[in-house]
Structure 1
Amino acid sequence: MLNEADLAHLRRCVELATEALDAGDEPFGSVLVDAEGNARAEDRNRVAGGDHTRHPEFELARWAAAHMTPEERAGATVYTSGEHCPMCSAAHAWVGLARIVYVASSAQLTQWLTDLGVPAGPVAPLPVNAVAPQIIVEGPVPELAEEVHALHVRLHTQDPATPHG
């Protein structure tokens, strides 16, 4: 069961996803929170430059590996606007992060993109636990999912000649 602190971190993820979209990128945002509830790092999607590994969840896994002890990572949570892709799920597991809380699931995103006529990407949209079965995963969060959906609609239905903002 999510509490108000969880929801506050998820709202920040939606803000970061909006910032990503406004900057011309895909709308994803994530926050890394330690066991005491302190936000330690945050990021947004940065794939617009052509490097499609620049997901915020992957960047936070790298950050955690460089800046947190294994014990700290084992108590940390990654909050994110969208469920981790397989690449990010693997990175999360390999660095020993504990929990993932997401707003929208991979299944929801896949359906939204299908409805918008967006072709499937090069990687199967597997749920986190299909890749990293030991990870504690919570989501989706219906009270915020429509905000994330609206960001993806905005990304895929706007005039390509205009900026995302």
Structure 2
Amino acid sequence: MTLTDTDLIHLRRCVELAREALEHGDMPFGSLLVGADGTVLLEERNQEGAGDATRHPELALATWAGAHLAPAERAGATAYTTGEHCAMCSAAHGWVGLGRIVVAVRATQLTEWLDGWGEPAPPVATLPIEQVVPGVVVDGPAPELADEMQALHRARVERDRARR
């Protein structure tokens, strides 16, 4: 499906959250959970910089939804995120029964960027969301956000290299 203007508005907010995460020393990822009526239910940014590598925004959305929304509300919600869910976050999304996922950048794009910069692969296999959660609707990437997301990830790589 082609991304709508509303999808791009939500993805741009996710990019702002990713920038905020980077400014706080975290990986540049941001996510929103939007209800079927278009209401933003939750905003999260990556917070793994303090040492808990599971503090991904997509996992936070799924955990919150499982605790606060009825199954039908979860199924009608859309998760917007700057980067395709990792296997952990995909599984959480599937287990709580969240609906559509809209991504600014697919994992294959991020992997290509990191490989090109000589960065190591992540410690967990990079799998498409659809492989972890069969039947889930995933839309994206958003080509109009790729350069900005690449710049944020490049800034994170440079920051981390300076710290080594």
TM over 0.5: yes
Tell me which residue corresponds to 2:81.
Answer: 80
1:117 deviates by 1.0
Tell me which residue corresponds to 1:51.
Answer: 52
Tell me which residue corresponds to 2:111.
Answer: 110
Sequence identity percentage: 58
1:160 deviates by 2.5
Moved over 3 A (4+): none
Tell me which residue corresponds to 2:154.
Answer: 153
Give a deviation string over 1:49-86, Cα, whole Å, max 9, x none: 11111000000000001111100001000000000000
The whole-number CA distance in structure 2 between the counterparts of 1:70 and 1:145 is 33
Which structure has more helix as a fraction of its residues?
A: 2
Give a deviation string over 1:10-67, Cα, whole Å, max 9, x none: 0000000000000111000000000011100010001111111100000000000111
Q: What TM-score, normalized by structure 2, do the two folds share?
A: 0.96
Aligned residues: 161
Give a deviation string over 1:70-115, Cα, whole Å, max 9, x none: 0000100000000000000000000000110000000000011111
Give the 3-state SS of the residue equivalent to 2:162 in structure 1.
Answer: coil
Gaps of 5+ in 2: none
Which amino acid in 1 is paired with 2:143? P
1:10-159 pair list within 5 angstroms: 10-158=11-159
Gaps of 5+ in 1: none
RMSD over aligned Cα atoms: 0.9
The whole-number CA distance in structure 2 between the counterparts of 1:155 and 1:17 is 11
Which amino acid in 2 is paired with 1:160? A
